Structure 1
Amino acid sequence: MVDLKDLLADLADESAQLDDMVAGPPPADWGSATPSPGWSVGHQVAHLAWTDHVALLAATDAEAFLAAVLAADDPARLVDAGAQEFLAPPTELLPRWRAGRAALADALARVPAGGKLPWFGTRMSPASMVTARIMETWAHGTDVADALGVTRTGTARLRHVAHLGFRTLGHSFAAHGRPAPTVPVRVELGAPDGATWTYGPADAADRVTGPALDFCLLVTQRRHRADLSLTAAGPVADAWLDVAQAFAGPPGPGRPPLAAHSGATGLTGPAGGVAA
């Protein structure tokens, strides 16, 4: 089990890395288009700030959270509407994002042991919520890095993304209208420090192997499997790599292979809006 304090520290570090990227020096061009059509660097940060705000409501006022969800004019556009609502110049949005993520961390640390938070279609423990926030911060940070031409080095924090990617195997199939697999899958990933991260039973016939970074890019739908060094053995493992998504909601659009769109590096649309 991962200690909540350690999870919160990793979330703070992941957020700080993205903060440094967009705040400079030199300051990022917040109008730069990211791989998600219609989303600029500013939209990516605004989305994270909005999601932190909604998560804070879930942690402190469940009724207000549910009211905010029910008040949405178009639930299918909730994520885009939230990003647009919070979009602002850097001098306004950066302080809001920083204050919001600090308030969320404080609120999650105060949730009583065993407490569950309402979320989109489910309930989450504080630890699960923090893990989801790490995943989203890293995924949207990848979009920003792609837009700005920044190469990021994988860190040990990827283990949270990988863990969530493995745990959402069943959800990935269900989101695409397929029955959840009844056979286990073994996942063996090469970590940034040279270690091996493993998930699932060691004797499982179906297996996924490869770099942890590639697995994280796949389950957050930041890269197509054809552009990654992942190997699937067995029919369930192979099918999973086509539908994997570590975030809640309907199936994400993913992205085509790089060769299919002349070397572009982006998604076909915003993905991972309300992480599970």
Structure 2
Amino acid sequence: MSHSSDTYLPSSSSSSTTTAAGSQGLSRFPSLRGRSVFITGGGSGIGAAIVAAFAEQGARVAFVDVAREASEALAQQLADAGMERPWWRTCDVRDIGALQACIAEAAAELGDFSVLVNNVASDDRHTLESVTPAYYDERMAINERPAFFAIQSVVPGMRKLGGGSVVNLGSTGWQGKGTGYPCYAIAKSSVNGLTRGLAKTLGQDRIRINTVSPGWVMTERQIKLWLDAAGEEEIARNQCLPDKLRPHDIARMVLFLASDDGAMCTAQEFKVDAGWV
């Protein structure tokens, strides 16, 4: 079981020029340099692209993931590329106490977090008939609860800093009435409620909170499990842009919202889906 958004694709799979750790040619956000950032599910997939993107900006990055080997490989890859090695721990986010302990430990080492990225997710397929109460609770424990309690953990530090940015990873899948994952759809649809429900409260302390909802991102897991001839036709039919979405495309939007350039953006959903119709 993976708690991150699939496996991060190395540079050879991207349609743009990239380094081993992430993408070249990204805008530079000076406001992110030296800031502490915490990312859930950062060891692989979209999360790993976000970790790499912040590292490239000179941020002090911390992340958690259940994928130990992938997480260590990513951290070493970034260090070998001359970036500051991310702080990371193995953590099952279903254990809220463990998640909050990791956040506290990382903050003690890196400083209070200016940025939180709630990325962790698992889109395992299931049918309506197969779902038991235990399975339902387990899906929510991965896809819904961690975001709320991670926010609860970082907000006191953001208040001390005078502000911050929370970026919640949503999904366009449920909005397009995607099938095969009703529990995932329920959890991901709640992300917009979490964002809007906290925006006024957090905004009083200049803490911004937004949702980034990816379209069909071509991670290794998606390509391996779901991308077939029919999927290729679906992309060609539904995307306005012809290029496939890659993890670093999502990271670019996250960087903007985390930076001072997004200073007046809050309570919003930003879709990165190549114009899916």
> What is the TM-score with the length of structure 2 in the denominator?
0.29
Relative to the length of structure 1, the TM-score reads 0.29
Larger proportion of helix = 1
- The structure with the greater share of residues assigned to strand is 2
